[in-house]
Amino acid sequence: MIKKTYPGGKTKAFNVTYDDGVLQDIRFVTLLNQYNLKGTFNLNSGLMENEFEWIHESGKSIKRLSKEKAVPLYQGHEIACHTLTHPYMNDLSEQEILHELQADKANLEKLFGREVKGFAVPFDYYSERIESCVRQSGFSYARISQESRSFMPQTDFFNWKATVFHTDSQLEELTRQFIETDLELAVFQIVGHSYDLDVEDMWDRIENVFRMIAAHDEILPMTTIEIVAYLRFLSGDNQP
């Protein structure tokens, strides 16, 4: 039996999906570009003014990227919605949820001059009510705050789980397992925040993962929306 593959005959897909749009993304995107990899960056357009700052529980200062820095930085990578202001969505009414989604989508599309089809849930609260709002707002997928720890391609695009959080102690071992797997249409997707790489002193570790992935020609770097669109195509689902 002939196995299905990704574009170009590649057998596996790799992506990172990172939240919040912070200053550490500058170093992070530089690493992605160095290894010819693709990221999905989930942004809160309402928090991009004046490099909004907060104090991490570690005591480190974390700053959002300004619009002026974000636009050139993310060229070649996917921009996705992460809500307008990063609220606890379980505290909001349906109309407030719709505003957080739709205003962020509209702002990001205007800022970056391209369509925004992806949504990443802030914090770890998700529900059927929020999913309904995501669908109403014109998104093609919703990445939730759970990990699959599997290389199986996701089939529920509105409850999309990344493979693993980048702080996981087994990150490099999972990378090796992904490289070795012969699973059809295998996907490896890492989720996190680039400020964690400072807080946890993880820059060398994440670069090692990128180096491992980039050394294998059968792995295709893709954005989340590219993976979703291709899986929909293979399944005969023509939803935009």
Domains and CATH numbers, the chain: 7-235 (3.20.20.370)
DSSP 151-200: -SPPS-GGGEEESEETT-TTHHHHHHHHHH---TTEEEEEEE-HHHHHHT
pLDDT at 2: 79
Residue type, 70: A
pLDDT at 239: 64
What is the overall mean pLDDT for the chain?
A: 95
Other CB atoms closer than 10 Å to residue 46's CB: what's the count? 17
pLDDT at 63: 92
Q: Give the pLDDT band (50/70/90) at residue 75.
A: very high
List the Cα angle 63/80/32 in 5-degree steps: 70
Taking the whole predicted model, whether its pTM rises above 0.85 is answered as: yes
pLDDT digits (tens, 9 = 90+) for 174-233: 999 999 999 999 999 999 999 999 999 999 999 999 999 999 999 999 999 999 999 999
